[in-house]
Structure 1
Amino acid sequence: MNHVRRSGVALLASILLVSSLISAFASGSALAFVWPAVVALATILLLRQAVLGLVAGSFAGCVLLTDGHWGNATLALVQDHFFPSMQGPWRVGAILFTLILGAFTVVIERGGGFESVANKLLGKHAADPRRRLETATGLLGVLCFFDGLANSLLLGRITRPLADRIGVARAKMAYLVDSTSSSIACIAFISTWIATQLSLIQQSIDGRGISESAYALFFQSIPQNFYCLFTLILAALVVWRRWDFGPMKKAKSTPHETSSEVADSTSSIWIALAPIIILSISIVSLFYLWETRPLWPVTSDKLSTAFSGNAGPYALTLGSVIGLLAACFFFPRKRQPELATAVSEGAASMLGPLLILVSAWTFGSILGELGTAKWLASSMSGAFPVDYFPAAIFITGAAISFLTGSSWGTMALLMPLALPAYLDLAPDQPVLLSAVIGAVFSGAVFGDHCSPFSDTTIVSAFACGITAQEHVVTQLPYALLAAAVALGVGFCGLALGLPAWLLLGIGTLLLGGLASAATRHKPKPDSD
């Protein structure tokens, strides 16, 4: 602890000294524009704290903006960027929605709904219990779409004793749990991620003359979020074809001790399903009801207008309140004394991500005042065809997320840079704007799946009963394969002018062909 404290003090002193020197002797230089991002990334790498990194980068930027005056820099950070960053419907709505959905997740978990769904999916007399368990894990991952970290923890805790009893390697379960968690949460239009994603998009396009709303751009980016989609496709192929490669083969031959018999859940599956259905219907309906006049008849134009309007923060917040009330209503009566604790602990569990979110807003505001994105755009102009900009962003994001272990930190670092830089680089070609958004999300999630510093990686390993090192080693080949296809087929294919749906098909065929070739002569597994 003392070593970490000394490292932090030394790092802060170095940041202040170098920032002052840059403001005095190198103002307007390339180093001045990128210095806040360098500080943020270096701090995250050294201290493994995304919030501290973003705050350090923000303060370094304010030192530059105030010509090296530390006192004025502190005032500017607080008055001009931190408090203003939390103003406006999108920002307030993002904070409220994240807190409420955190409570929603824990209430359903404490009620036993997810365990009941798992038992229902598995059945009592499955013909092929191993494949059925792996398939059920993937389906539960889709069902738990609203939070990546909670997804990993819930699925790991529920499926680990089942895997031990049936004979599935824990490393295999950790791969399936981890691969579905962040990938699903990143593309779900209702999740603890969505408020952060939308607010970062909105902040980056404000004042840029973009007609589409942040929600519309998010929906457009989903087919171009190639890494997340190919990761889910690969996981399905791994289950279907029993495709184990790399260190995962050895993981299967090293069984863990069989755990005690799994306790049957007496809760109803509707404890989980009903609140999720109500939450989803409420948010979608509120988008339509908020601004649409007249309500009838329902047309595609009205739906498009509803999701492109300003209803986002209101629909998300009010819809999440309705969902939480539904979760409380379906909470088992015999566990009522636990309800208040579940709500408070669920909301409290999101304070960490919210600190990252507010720090990201502040950091983005300072980068905007510095003009970093415009400098980046002018520097990249002519370096490579603008059509390859999403591919470059994906590579950058994947490297940052792997080194830092923070998907949210990566999004916070990249989004305020990538979108404005692209709009400055190609103001007359906004067609790839959604692809840039997809590239930021894809790169950020890559680290969630294979970085030894990622909280999702660590939680997935812990929940499934293996070490983080074993999980990283066994999952890394799968993550690299999905990333290679995302880059080579997806983002490079976009640069060639091919549509996203065609690239998804080509990538799926490629992964399917690799799976078939690798398992063609594999003996059929026994059906226990």
Structure 2
Amino acid sequence: MDYGILSIIPAVLAIVLAMITKNIVISLAISVFVGSTIICGWNPIAGFLEMTHTHIFTALSEPSNMQALFMMVIISGFIALLTSSGGAGAFTNLVTKKVNTRSKCEGGIWLGGLFVWFTDTGNSLIVGPIFEALAEKLRVSREKFAYILDCTTSPICSMIPIIGWGVTTISLIQAELDNAAITDVSGMDVFIQAIPFNYYAILTLFMAGLLAFTQWDYGPMLKAQNRAMKTGKTLREGGVPMRSESASDKEAKKDGKVSTMVIPLITLLVVLFAYLFSKDFLHTRVAGSDLRTGIASAFFAATIVLVIMCLKDKLYTFTECINIYTKGCSNAMFMCIVLVLAWSLSSVTSTLNTAGYLIKISSGFLAPSMLPLVMFILGAIMSFATGTSWGTMGVLMPLGLPVAIDMGSALPLVAAAIVGGGLFGDHCSPISDTTVLASIGASCDHVDHFETQMPYAVTVAVICGIMFVLAGLDYSPVMLVVAAVLLAVVVFVLHKLSVKKYGQEKTPGKIS
């Protein structure tokens, strides 16, 4: 059935309600219900049943989704025990002797995210807990913390050919090459050649590092950074963190050792990479279920080691360790609900064929000279509305690449534009799972993360739009240098304008 303009109502409603109510659960739930009601011919009772049975239960029945939820739970348990043991605090006290400024801490988060290049969904959950206590002590706002985590998820994964992102993109490109009977170039060739033109991914990573080391924040992010530096409140007053601890949790923290944190984390990385190497991840594609198995197993192993260390140092009894761990697991309930609702909304937009409608209304703009720009804009709109980059690529690759082949356009440039457009929504859409996970990793209010990150993402997107026009005139990797310089200048100017308006707190104020 063709739902026409009605197909975009649930996605738009979710975004608008999130901004107005500041409550992501209510916003998603209402949007899923409204979408289900539209599907059922505006019958609210049938829509309610449709929402529960067809979309929520279907989302929960997906093995990959259940595995992700299980990961959320066991990771939350590990974080709770690690925090209570005092290991994170001891690590913070040691590291701050060297990492003693906010810019150094943010730079460390950025570098840590670059290191965890093998998973977009696990990145924030691995890096976030490591730097959480340090970021709190050095007054990094939760919004900035979440932004840096989000920047080092999908953007870096989109340029790695040996993981799920790369393999999926290559297969989509190869399918169109096969359909066009093109044999002198492969999907891998086009993917590699497209990397220098993946402007959104590269510029997003560049901007996150630039802002971390220079502190050239602007707009809502600068206000959040000022609040944290002046008052010590890294979370907005009234903000609801996606992952939190109770007052009793904070009081129960022990004076642990640095080894209490470092050894479990080393165990985590050793187990994870040993598993990945057993799957020959450098040469073959590792299935998503295998990757999640590796991450879950690594956290289980790290938890076992952490429990042993707590018992050895007489920090807790075994029963106390289990109680802390299970209590931490229960803290994951809020984020699990958000993820299930986000997946349900994705199911609704798929049924309504939101992506198809967006293609239909924009198909008349596919002029040869503007093809890369149009593909990028269309991908950005589609991914932002649906919260999925892979789904966007799955729709646009079969549309854009055949057109590029017929027009004689540069395939790597068009492919990069499609990937970049898909990344935009995956990076900043409030209903994207990686956006949610970044909020979880930084323990940030999800709506605050969305609102402060959006101006940064749009800045990069605008520069990308300009670059895709210029690249069509001068198809050269050198254009990437031009893009980086242009972005740095724009960020600096926006920073100066915001400082003039809001000021910039550079020294810690008294904690109120």
Q: TM-score, normalised by structure 2?
A: 0.62
1:221-252 alpha-carbon deviations (Å, 9 max, x no partner): 9984356413422134316xxx688978x969
- The alpha-carbon deviation at position 378 of structure 1 amounts to 1.5
By how many angstroms is 1:98 displaced?
1.6
Counterpart among 406, 412, 425 of residue 440 in structure 1:
425
Aligned-partner Cα distance in 2 for 1:288–1:457 = 26
> Displacement, 1:352?
1.6
CA contact (8 A) 2:424 2:461 kept: no
Query: Aligned partners of 1:82, 1:88: CA distance in 2, in Å?
Result: 10
Matched, 1:357 2:357: no
Aligned to 1:328: 307
Partner of 1:85: 59
Q: How does 1:283-322 map to 2 (within 5 A)?
A: 283-290=272-279, 303-307=282-286, 311-322=290-301
Residue by residue over 1:321-359, the C-alpha shift from the partner in whole angstroms, topping out at 9 and shown as x without a partner, is 223333333447332255334322332222222112212
Structure 2: gaps spanning 5 or more residues: 117-121, 158-163, 179-186, 233-252, 405-413, 497-505, 508-512
Q: 1:94 Cα deviation (Å)?
A: 1.1
Cα deviation, residue 149, structure 1? 8.9
Counterpart amino acid of residue 138 in structure 1: G
1:32 aligns with 2:6: yes
Instruction: Verify the 8 A CA contact 1:279 1:320 in the aligned structure 2.
Output: yes
Aligned to 2:365, the other structure's residue is in SS state coil
Deviation digits for residues 359-379 of structure 1, max 9, x if unmatched? Answer: 222222222222222121121
Query: 2:85 touches 2:315 (CA, 8 Å); kept in 1?
Result: yes
Q: TM-score, normalised by structure 1?
A: 0.61
User: 3-state DSSP class of the match of 1:225?
Assistant: helix
Paired residue for 1:115? Answer: 89
Question: Which one-letter code corresponds to 1:139 in the other structure?
Answer: G
Alpha-carbon distance in structure 1 between the residues aligned to 2:133 and 2:375? 37
SS at match of 2:343: helix
**Number of the residue aligned with 1:138:** 107
Compute the displacement of 1:42 (Å): 4.0
Give 2:340's aligned amino acid.
Answer: V
- Evaluate the alpha carbon distance shift between residue 281 and residue 306 of structure 1 in structure 2; reply closer, same or farther with a 3 A threshold: farther
Q: Deviations over 1:121-150 (max 9, x none)?
A: 333xx7xx865x641453256558767599
- Note closer, same or farther for the CA distance 1:255–1:309 as it changes in structure 2 (3 Å cut): closer
- Does the Cα contact within 8 Å between 2:103 and 2:214 map onto a contact in 1? no
Q: Is the 8 A contact 2:335 2:440 kept in 1?
A: no
Count of equivalent residues: 422
Deviates more, 1:439-448 or 1:343-352: 439-448
Mapped to 1, the partners of 2:28 and 2:431 lie a distance apart of 20
Change over 3 Å in CA distance of 1:180–1:60 after alignment to 2:
closer
Q: Which residue of 2 aligns with 1:9?
A: none
* Distance across 2 between alignment mates of 1:288 and 1:154: 24
**1:375 is paired with a residue of what secondary structure?**
helix
Match of 1:377 in 2: 359
In the TM superposition, what is the alpha-carbon distance from 1:421 to its structure 2 partner?
4.4
2:74–2:300 contact (8 Å) kept in structure 1: yes
Contact 2:86 2:256 in 1 (8 A): yes
Which of 191, 213, 229 aligns to 1:237? It is: 213
- CA–CA distance in structure 1, aligned partners of residues 85 and 71 of structure 2: 21
Q: CA deviation at 1:387?
A: 2.0
3-state SS, counterpart of residue 53 of structure 1:
helix
CA change 1:93–1:491 in 2 (3 A) is: farther
Q: For residues 75 and 284 of structure 1, do their structure 2 counterparts lie closer, same or farther at Cα, with a shift above 3 Å needed?
A: same
Which position in structure 2 is the counterpart of 1:274? Answer: 263
Match of 2:25 in 1: 51
Aligned residue in 1 for 2:73? 99
Conservation of the 8 A alpha-carbon contact between 1:156 and 1:174? no
Equivalent residue number for residue 431 of structure 1? 415
Q: For the residues of structure 1 that align with 2:58 and 2:348, how far apart are their CA atoms?
A: 11
For residue 108 of structure 2, what is the amino acid of its counterpart?
L
Asked if structure 2 preserves the Cα contact closer than 8 Å seen for 1:275 and 1:327, the reply is yes
**Which amino acid counterpart does residue 369 of structure 1 have in structure 2?**
T
Native 8 Å contact 1:40 1:54 kept in 2 = yes
2:268 maps to a residue whose letter is L
Aligned 8 A contact 2:382 2:422 in 1: no
- The root-mean-square deviation of aligned C-alpha atoms, in Å, is 5.4
CA–CA distance in 1 between the matches of 2:146 and 2:131? 9
CA distance in 2, matches of 1:355, 1:255: 34
Per the TM alignment, residue 458 of structure 1 is displaced from its structure 2 partner at its CA by 11
Following superposition of structure 1 onto structure 2, how do residues 52-71 of structure 1 map, counting pairs within 5 Å?
52-71=26-45
Structure 1 unaligned segments of length 5 or more: list them: 1-26, 164-169, 190-197, 258-263, 293-301, 399-409, 449-453, 462-467, 520-524
- 2:211–2:217 CA contact under 8 A, matched in 1: no
Could you say which residue in structure 1 is the equivalent of 2:244? none
Letter aligned with residue 78 of structure 2: F
Give the direction of change, closer, same or farther, for the CA distance of 1:329–1:502 in structure 2 (3 Å limit). Answer: farther
Q: Distance in 1 between matches of 2:387 and 2:379?
A: 13
Shift of 1:440: 1.9
Q: Give the CA deviation at 1:67.
A: 2.6
**Paired residue for 1:346, among 319, 323, 328?**
328
Once residues 119 and 147 of structure 1 are traced to their aligned partners in structure 2, the CA distance between those partners, rounded to angstroms, is 24
User: Counterparts of 1:362 and 1:507 in 2: how far apart (Å)?
Assistant: 37
Change (3 A) 1:281 1:392: farther
* More displaced stretch, 53-62 vs 429-438: 429-438
Conserved 8 A contact 2:201-2:423: yes
Contact 1:227/1:483 (8 A) holds in 2: no
Is the partner of 2:260 in helix, strand or coil?
helix
Deviates more, 1:54-63 or 1:92-101: 54-63
> Partner letter of residue 63 of structure 1?
T
Amino acid at match of 2:295: L
Contact kept in structure 1, 2:85 and 2:310, CA below 8 Å = yes
Q: CA deviation at 1:274?
A: 2.5
Indicate how the Cα distance of structure 1 residues 75 and 346 shifts in structure 2: closer, same or farther if over 3 A, else same. same
- Mapped contact 2:268–2:301 kept (Cα < 8 A): yes
Deviations 1:181-226 (A, max 9, x none): 443466687xxxxxxxx89x99xx99x97999xxx99xx8998435
Do the aligned partners of residues 275 and 81 (structure 1) sit closer, same or farther apart at CA in structure 2, a change above 3 Å counting?
same
Superposition map of 1:218-257 within 5 A: 224-226=200-202, 228-238=204-214
